[in-house]
Amino acid sequence: MKKIILKCTIFCTIFLIILIILSHIVVPKNNSKEAGMEDELANGILAEPENTIDVLVVGDSESYSSYVPREIWNEYGITSYVCGNPKQPLSRSLSFIYKTFKTQKPKIVMLETNTIYRRRSLMYPLYELSDNILPIFKYHDRWKTLTKNDLFGKVDYTTIQDSKGYYYSDIIKSSKPGKYMRRSKDERKIPKSNKLYIKIMKKYCEKNGAKLVFYSAPSSKNWTYEKHNGVQALADSLGIEFIDLNLKNNEININWNEDSRDKGDHLNYNGAIKVTKYLGKYLYEKNILTDHRGDPNYQEWN
């Protein structure tokens, strides 16, 4: 029996060592698409100069379709970055927050709330962990495009994304909102595991001197009053500010005939600008964010 346990231990140790070596080989050496980086738009954050981003936005596709960092810079000189990727689960949002705080000190973290209703399999935390520690599982397919640099080079993130994480689209596909945001008293239930993620997220932000804010981008296809009620209740219980832009249409004026790129699922550039104008004003009025326009260290933003 002892011999078997010893054998298994040695087997697993060698297995782990090979995994680590392979991970070093396949991990993208730059944060560009060409270097093999996934979600290169969101991961552009990795190349931003240290301590220059004041607002971090995370969430699924609703986030990078609704928030235009450049617009807020032009208006108020506030720097922000959207770390959103398609179908982002909360575990991934949290990863992006951890990743960002390694080199940045954002004062505000905005979470787009659509992801709060994403259900994930039991294995998801494990996937997330393996993605961060052993990227071989995520980047295994890179055997097809390996170069010499992958074998011997060091990781160096140099690819700056001009849009700061916003995904530009000027396609117009109109929608008829129908029952969208019809009043209701019911609450859509939030999965327990997701509540836990939110709590962890809030604690982490506070510990690092940042404020967590929820916002919900207008989406006639994804958002409902029941979801609003659910998130509102959660926000109230945790003392988190929640801006539901779906309910502020008399101020934002989203026109579903021309402001969506895919029939009400996501906003196009027109819609995103309207939303961003509102959010920019909100951030500015917080009075805790600095106007960096004119600061030579922020040249690149101009």
Partner 1 sequence: MSYSDATYLVLFLPLTILIYNLMPQKHRWKVLLIASYIFFWCISKKLIIFIIFSTFSIHHFGLWLKSIQEERNKLLKEAEKESKKAIRAEYLKKQRKVLLLGVLIHLGILLVLKYSGFALENLNALFAMIKIPISFSITKYMMPIGISFYTLQAISYITDVYHEKIQADRNLGRLALFMTFFPQIMEGPICRYSDTAMQLWEGKKVTYQNLKSGLLRIGYGIIKKIVIADRLNIFVQTIFEKYSEFDGGIVAIGVILYTVQLYMDFSGVMDIVIGSGEIFGIKMPENFRQPFFSKTISEFWTRWHITLGAFFRDYVFYPLSLSEPLKKLTTKARKKLGKHYGPLISSSIALFCVWFCNGLWHGAAWSFIFFGMYHFVLILTGNIIEPLVNIVNEKLHIKKENWIYKTLQIIRTTILVFIGELFFEAKTVKDGFAMLNRIFTQFSFNGISTGAILDKNGMDLKDFIIVGIGIIFVYIISILKEKNVDIKKWVFGQKIVIRWLIYYAIIFVVIILGAYGMNYIPVDPMYAGF
Nearer to partner 1, 8 or 155 (CB): 8
Cα gap 213→196, rounded to integer Å: 16
12 binds partner 1 (CB under 8 A): no
Q: Is the dihedral of CA 130, 133, 134, 138 positive or negative?
A: positive
Nearer to partner 1, 141 or 170 (CB): 141
Closest CA to 240 of 111, 133, 130: 111
Nearer to partner 1, 126 or 288 (CB): 126
∠220-56-112 over CA atoms, to 5°?
20
CB of 140 to partner 1, least distance (A): 5
Helix, strand, coil share (%) of the chain residues, nearest 5: 50, 10, 45
CB of 148 to partner 1, least distance (A): 18
Stretch near partner 1 under the rule CB under 8 A, chosen from 8-16, 55-63, 96-104, 205-213: 8-16
Are 241 and 234 spatial neighbours (Cβ–Cβ below 8 Å)?
no
Determine the straight-line distance between the first and last CA of the chain, rounded to whole angstroms. 68
Nearer to partner 1, 121 or 302 (CB): 121
Cα gap 83→117, rounded to integer Å: 18
CB of 67 to partner 1, least distance (A): 24
83-142: which residues touch partner 1 (CB under 8 A)?
121-123, 126-127, 136-138, 140-141
x-marked contacts with partner 1 along 142-161 as a string, rule CB under 8 A: -xx-----------------
Cα gap 211→207, rounded to integer Å: 10
Secondary structure (DSSP) of 71-86: HHHHHH---EEEEE-T
Nearer to partner 1, 12 or 288 (CB): 12
11 binds partner 1 (CB under 8 A): yes
16 binds partner 1 (CB under 8 A): no
CB of 167 to partner 1, least distance (A): 17
CB of 92 to partner 1, least distance (A): 12
Task: Report phi then psi at 211, rounded to 5.
Answer: -105, 135
Nearer to partner 1, 36 or 230 (CB): 36
Instruction: Using CB under 8 A, list all residues that contact partner 1.
Output: 4, 11, 14-15, 18-19, 22, 38, 121-123, 126-127, 136-138, 140-141, 143-144
